[in-house]
Chain A
């Protein structure tokens, strides 16, 4: 349970929550509440905090998406300029290209997450999550279009039963997972512990 509290505290600090809340949760645990109850409370608080931050800062959310896209565009240009011999990350067909390709994606996307977090210091984690959600939606939209195109050509239906389809699926999906992981890691590293929310801004009272 001690480790749970440490993780929750770490998350709450980065989300800028009122740390009196963690004290309240600990107080309830000392009175016999279960670990499940504790984590349910933590997850609800995180969900409410993130959703509230996005709802209250819509323009900041748009700016976060724009910042993330612009940073990724710069990395794409650098990729094309300096790493042109490597195949595009979305179409890495060979395992030889896979590891260095994924490493570069992890590195660049961590940098993107870090940039988004550092340029939105008031709400770093929620804004990084907004960018991740936008990127995932864009990827899903892109993939749905591709799948539709393949279905029309019956390529996908034919290839499902082919040997090695799982390997190709892994090659196809891995960049997306690494992208999300990279952005989140970079975002969390870029989000230094914040001062608590306004409720805790002035210890002498408001």
Chain B
């Protein structure tokens, strides 16, 4: 039986953001979207390190876009979630939902 893959908290945030952004997912919008959705300050280096780790695991793949003058001639690196990545996000969600269920302290929306 294959060992199930789970994502860490920040990995899950990055995966969900890449899925949400679709074809426009590169460093800047990914960082901004995470900041917007979570309200926390996100370092670009952290996002890139996480994306690199996810790529090594085969959960995302990347392609280089065109270089632009405002980026000092550096190309954008676009990220897309792979089928294995989508499966892993679903597995992680299922695990979290199972853990969530049956906890009276977390029901009713009152902290």
Contacts and interface: CB of A to CB of B under 8 A. Distances in A.
Interface of A: 5, 9, 17-28, 30, 40-41, 44-49, 52, 197-200, 203-206
Contacts of B62: 199-200, 205-206
A47 B61 CA distance: 24
A110 to B, nearest CB: 29
B106 interface: no
Interface stretch (B16-24, B73-81, B83-91, B92-100): B73-81
Nearest to A43: B45
Given A20-B74, A27-B71, A206-B62, A41 B44 contact: yes
Interface centre among B43, B52, B72 (most CB of A within 10 A): B72
B76 A20 contact: yes
Interface of B: 26-28, 31, 43-46, 48-49, 51-52, 55-56, 61-64, 67-68, 70-77
A55 B74 CA distance: 29
B43 A44 contact: yes
A27 B44 contact: no
The majority secondary structure among interface residues of chain A is helix
Contacts of B77: 18, 20, 199-200
Given A21-B27, A198-B55, 4 more contacts: A20-B75, A23-B74, A23-B75, A49-B45
